[in-house]
Amino acid sequence: MSCIKPLIDQCNHLFDKRLPLLSLWQDIADNFYPERADFTTCRNVGEEMSRGLMSSYPVVARRQLGDAFGAMLRPTAKEWFHTRTNRPDKEDTTDKQWLEWAGKFQRNVMYDTRAQFSRATKEADHDFAAFGQAVISVEMNPGRDGLLFRCWHLRDVAWMEDYTGQITTIYRRWKPTVSDLCAMADK
């Protein structure tokens, strides 16, 4: 129990430290990304998301920029990544064949519809277009037979970097439903 309290305190400190940032993200979302404009407010079902906009131009510009990220970085009709080592001069034919196989295998895993890779990266592209950052997690799917990619709302995640700029600690606030918890317990 003594190791849990410092983790909770650190989590609360990180979320408290970024409170002023939530106001900025809320203002940005109100103008450019109304679908994500719930950083500091709670929207009700059926509430008009973009009622305060004078023009749809900022929303359209963000949408076009987010869509352009995906089209440029991950064209689905093209192999946009290849597995490599950091020492290509040491690779022989067998190594190259295995790396080619591994790359095709990884692509199949990522583009499996259950993995939701396309959905998560599309959401992340739009978060990045609006806020300059996005949070994606990669984990095992509930059936434990593939991956699951998810894009998380920036409101629910706080992280910490070390002196080299590497993210070392991530906290995510999550409010699961009872049915989600029961489904997880059954697995």
Residues 92-148 have pLDDT tens digits of 889 889 999 999 999 999 999 999 999 999 999 999 999 999 999 999 998 889 999
* Whole-number pLDDT of residue 110: 94
pLDDT band at 183 (very low <50, low <70, confident <90, very high): confident
C-alpha to C-alpha distances, 129 to 37, 63, 70, 82, 126, nearest whole angstrom: 14, 8, 11, 26, 5
pLDDT at 52: 65
Mean pLDDT (the chain) is 90
Separation between Cα atoms, residue 52 and residue 54, nearest integer Å: 7
The three-point CA angle 95-99-100 to 5° equals 120
Say whether pLDDT at 53 is over 70.
Answer: no
User: In which element (H, E) is residue 138 found?
Assistant: strand 135-140
- Please say if the pLDDT value at position 51 is more than 70: no
Helical residues (DSSP H) of the chain, grouped into ranges: 4-17, 19-32, 57-73, 93-110, 117-131, 178-186
Give the pTM: 0.86
How many angstroms separate the Cα of 47 from the Cα of each of 42, 118, 171? 10, 28, 30
Cross-strand bridge partners of residue 157: 172
